Chain A
Amino acid sequence: MNKTWLIIQREFLNRVQKKSFLVATILIPLIFPVIMAVLIYVAKVQKENARKPVVHLVDEGNYLNINDTSRFIFKKFNGSIEDAKRAFSESDDFGLLHVPQINVFNPAGVTLYTKVNPGPGEVSDLESKIENKIKDIKMLRFKIDQKILDSLKTSVDIRSVTLSESGQEKASDTKVLFAIGMVGGIMIYIFIFVYGAQIMQGVIEEKMSKIVEVIVSSVRPFQLMTGKIIGLASVGILQFLIWIVLISTLSSLVLGYFGMSAPQMEMMNQANEQMANVPEYDPQLMSIMETVNQIPFTYIIFNFLFFFLGGYLLYGALFAAVGSAVDSPAEAQQFMFPITIPMLISYFALFTFILDDPHGPISVWLSIIPFTSPIAMMGRIGFGVPAWQLALSMVSLIGGFILTTWIAGRIYRVGILMHGTKVNYKVLAKWFMMKG
């Protein structure tokens, strides 16, 4: 045990003392706010300077008023469509919308001429403009007063509240929870790959430099493997904690610079506590703030660390086994496939099912099966996971990494002493079965 501790220390110091660790640990949190700042700045500048694209309108039945939409400026053209086409092709404008005389109950023949392919958003913007207009015309034909029509238009923003069994109300904003799930899932995915690859690289280095036989004459191969895995895990956790501190400090600085300063947020929080439906505030922003305030960050960070560690240990052992079996990083590629598959499945499932439907059966099962649970559970955690599912997932993850560590240990102890052997899955199975 004492020797495993020595190995953990050695591995930890080896990585932490490297320049690359220092660079990655400091630069990455700097890069994120910088990218954020640049994006916000660019978006701001673009919004200020943006000119909406111009659409020529040939409206033969005079259906549409030429009020601009959120996307377009309209320029009415009086004349035939042929003349309009000619004028349009000579201009630099975005498009030409031709609305012929139409039957409002079966509108047909509305055409948009453009020089480049229009995006679906742009087309639907125009469609809804025309649809709304046609609706109004129909309403008028049904003798409905314009005033009634106007009063029919309503805007609703649903405030989503989860009601716990104890009757406690919690505001939730699915966008925030979605973001938490996405960021958490992606971070676990990246962490496992980056640190898993480092374990593998470390094992291959020891094998290539041939120090490994010297070491295993002093410690058991299993101690060397677990020492390496745990040593790197502690580097990962250290790096993660530094990032959290740096990113949150820097991000609030950046946000503050662009007008969402922390004191203002505090003010909103206070207002929030006093009364939820203060009319002056934008209800959407209110709901985001309300949700952010109610997110149990300690709970999420604890679960993140647990599933990061669990997933890392589970995959780390497999990465170590692969490293022990090969003589060079290039050879490792052939064994990476089965390791990558469950990771990729959970990564894609994160975006296709889990964030969309966090309580659906696929999401639940993916978050319980140990090979996919670290990423899948991160996707679900913000939306609230029943305690029994969380417990089952944790227990099976612990069981899972004990299993993979055991399997990997059996391959590792043989693999590290084999040089120049051609290794395939059959050979790995043979090593696994081999007695000490």
Chain B
Amino acid sequence: MNALQVERVTKRYTNHTALDQVSLSVPEKSIFGLLGPNGAGKTTLIRIINQIISLDEGTITIFNERLHENHISVIGYLPEERGLYKKLKVGEQLLYLAQLKGLNRKEAQTRIKAWLQKFDILDWTGKKVEDLSKGMAQKVQFISTVMHEPKLIILDEPFSGFDPVNANLIRDEILELKEKGSTIIFSTHRMETVEELCDHIVLINKSKKILEGPKKEIKNNYKSFTFAVDHIGSFQLNGGNYEMIHQNKVEENTYRSLVRMKSPGNPNDLLKQLIEITEVHSFIEKVPSMNEIFIQLVKGGSDE
């Protein structure tokens, strides 16, 4: 089952189209990366899913149900533009936000206590948010997002503004939530996060989806069959399926070469051939990073 299914969703504003026939599916219990440059339409899509704004065309289904007002309690949303009531105490604040998500008072109080205990910040309950440090406030913010145990968690640039310690804490928490069965959608520019956490990704550029699939598959598809070889002594590669991209002298008599297969083939064959002509010290396939794929696709798009 898909946690979220977006089908041919279009959103138009007076002067531009924010989303143009975007479709995507988020598998249940996965961590899903929603990628794209600024202004691509990510936030618009997220706001539509959260029913903050409406769509012009298309359909959205959540756990096989058409998007409905009751889904508010199923979704936990951490917006990119986020904050808390500065004058309100931590406990009151969390209680209010939980009640707005549909939790009853008693249940909310129990959960708030459990979460504050978990983050070891129970003694902040009576503190006003304006008296907290930024890192403390971020923890409170995160609790407010997941407190009602949403099955679908949408995090828009979750790590922006988090210090490394809190970022790690939140990352562990996200992985734990996934283990417990939640589906998590990330919207981010930070490719290291995507590389590390996401199972599936979709790339949106200029209001259109340009790429979707499991991260592994995408990386395979964008493999250029290029290999970095460290070796002793210079050599030439001519003809056949192999092409020398460049060769650097690293130290005296030690070289690094970048070799590409012209058509997909078995790396062992290449290695065999290399062993015959040089002394190989290392042989590594250059797998493209998400960052490279992202830049390649987005730049390619803007050249049109």
Expressed in whole angstroms, the Cα–Cα distance for A210 and B129 within the complex equals 13
Which residues of A have CB within 8 Å of B54? 435-436
**Is the pair B86, A215 in contact by a Cβ cutoff of 8 Å?**
no
**Is the pair B79, A6 in contact by a Cβ cutoff of 8 Å?**
no
Expressed in whole angstroms, the Cα–Cα distance for A231 and B38 within the complex equals 38
Expressed in whole angstroms, the Cα–Cα distance for A3 and B54 within the complex equals 20
Q: List residues of A whose CB falls within 8 A of some B CB.
A: 3, 6-7, 10, 14, 205-206, 209-211, 213-219, 221, 417, 419, 430, 433-436
Query: Smallest distance from the beta carbon of A237 to chain B beta carbons, Å?
Result: 23
Which residues of A have CB within 8 Å of B50? 217
Given the known interface contacts A14-B88, A216-B52, A436-B53, the answer about A210 and B83 at a Cβ–Cβ threshold of 8 Å is yes
Expressed in whole angstroms, the Cα–Cα distance for A217 and B71 within the complex equals 10
Query: Smallest distance from the beta carbon of B256 to chain A beta carbons, Å?
Result: 47
Most buried by A among B14, B77, B82, B100: B100
Q: Chain A interface secondary structure, helix, strand, loop or mixed? A: helix
B184-216 CB mask vs A (1 if < 8 Å, else 0) is: 000000000000000000000000000000000
Task: Indicate which residue in A209, A218, A221, A436 contacts B86 across the interface (CB closer than 8 Å).
Answer: A209
**Is the pair A214, B87 in contact by a Cβ cutoff of 8 Å?**
no
Task: Indicate which residue in B14, B77, B87, B88 contacts A430 across the interface (CB closer than 8 Å).
Answer: B14
**Is the pair A209, B85 in contact by a Cβ cutoff of 8 Å?**
yes
**Is the pair B85, A434 in contact by a Cβ cutoff of 8 Å?**
no
Given the known interface contacts A218-B97, A218-B101, the answer about A210 and B13 at a Cβ–Cβ threshold of 8 Å is no
Q: List residues of B whose CB falls within 8 A of some A CB.
A: 13-14, 47, 50-54, 56, 72, 75, 77-79, 81-88, 96-97, 99-101, 144
**Could you show 13 A-B contacts with beta carbons less than 8 Å apart?**
A3-B100, A206-B85, A214-B78, A214-B83, A214-B84, A215-B97, A217-B77, A218-B72, A218-B100, A219-B100, A221-B52, A434-B13, A436-B54
Which residues of B have CB within 8 Å of A436? 53-54
**Is the pair B87, A14 in contact by a Cβ cutoff of 8 Å?**
yes
Expressed in whole angstroms, the Cα–Cα distance for A214 and B83 within the complex equals 8
**Is the pair B84, A209 in contact by a Cβ cutoff of 8 Å?**
yes
Which residue of the partner chain B has the closest CB to A436?
A: B54
Which residue of the partner chain B has the closest CB to A218?
A: B100
Expressed in whole angstroms, the Cα–Cα distance for A430 and B53 within the complex equals 16
Expressed in whole angstroms, the Cα–Cα distance for A434 and B50 within the complex equals 18
**Is the pair B85, A211 in contact by a Cβ cutoff of 8 Å?**
yes
**Is the pair B81, A210 in contact by a Cβ cutoff of 8 Å?**
yes
Expressed in whole angstroms, the Cα–Cα distance for A419 and B84 within the complex equals 16
Which residue of the partner chain B has the closest CB to A208?
A: B83
Expressed in whole angstroms, the Cα–Cα distance for A434 and B47 within the complex equals 16
Which residues of A have CB within 8 Å of B52? 213, 216-217, 221, 417
**Is the pair B82, A213 in contact by a Cβ cutoff of 8 Å?**
yes
Which residues of A have CB within 8 Å of B83? 209-211, 214
Most buried by A among B51, B52, B82, B97: B52
Which residues of A have CB within 8 Å of B72? 217-218
Expressed in whole angstroms, the Cα–Cα distance for A211 and B56 within the complex equals 27
Task: Indicate which residue in B13, B51, B56, B77 contacts A214 across the interface (CB closer than 8 Å).
Answer: B77
Expressed in whole angstroms, the Cα–Cα distance for A267 and B64 within the complex equals 80
Which residues of A have CB within 8 Å of B144? 214
Interchain residue pairs A-B with the least CB separation, the first 5: A210-B83, A436-B54, A218-B100, A213-B79, A209-B83
Which residue of the partner chain A has the closest CB to B69?
A: A220
Expressed in whole angstroms, the Cα–Cα distance for A217 and B148 within the complex equals 13
Which residues of A have CB within 8 Å of B97? 214-215, 218
